[in-house]
Amino acid sequence: MHFDVHAMTGADFDTWLQQKIAAANASPSPPPPQPSGGAPSPGQSGPPAAAPLALVAQNIAYDKTELAAPANSPFQIQFDNQDASIPHNVAIHEGSPTGAEVFKGEVFPGPAQKTYDVPALKAGAYAFVCSVHPNMNGTLTVQ
Ligand SMILES: [Cu+2]
């Protein structure tokens, strides 16, 4: 059996360690610290805002049963009510259509469209539902 034993003094080891740390930190450069709390200020460069979620109501039904949205980030729902003279909206409830309401879009008759501004939601399972027709609903996954 043969071993290479690298004997170093404490000082040599510290120097070697500092070099390793410096090399590890050299690139890529760490991101600049972000201000804690609060939304990014307007004009700050960042990823482009996500496209609105499109949802259509027709014949007293939504065209989708599942939607997904990013967590902790405001988003929009572009809601197209195609039912003439029938009011619909999109409300968001925690967990299920009977859970706590966290957002309620304006109810309006079709044919018309509105874009709802939905506040940031925590990650989790939600339901989207029409406040007028509870049988119009689907799941919203926020992650
Ligand atoms: Cu409805």
pLDDT tens digits along 2-13:
666 656 566 676
Contact status, residue 105 vs residue 117, Cβ threshold 8 Å: no
What's the gap in Å between 70 CA and the centre of ligand 1? Answer: 25
What's the gap in Å between 82 CA and the centre of ligand 1? Answer: 11
pLDDT tens digits along 67-91:
999 999 999 999 999 999 999 999 9
What's the gap in Å between 101 CA and the centre of ligand 1? Answer: 16
pLDDT tens digits along 86-128:
999 999 999 999 999 999 999 999 999 999 999 999 999 999 9
Say how many C-beta atoms besides its own lie within 10 A of residue 56's C-beta. 17
Interatomic CA distance for residues 118 and 105, integer angstroms: 8
Contact status, residue 53 vs residue 76, Cβ threshold 8 Å: yes
What pLDDT does residue 49 have?
Answer: 66
Four-way CATH pick for 50-143: 2.60.40.420, 3.40.50.2300, 2.40.110.10, 3.40.640.10:
2.60.40.420
Contact status, residue 143 vs residue 71, Cβ threshold 8 Å: yes
- pTM of structure: 0.67
Region 29-48: mean pLDDT is: 53
Q: What is the DSSP letter of 84?
A: B
What's the gap in Å between 89 CA and the centre of ligand 1? Answer: 6
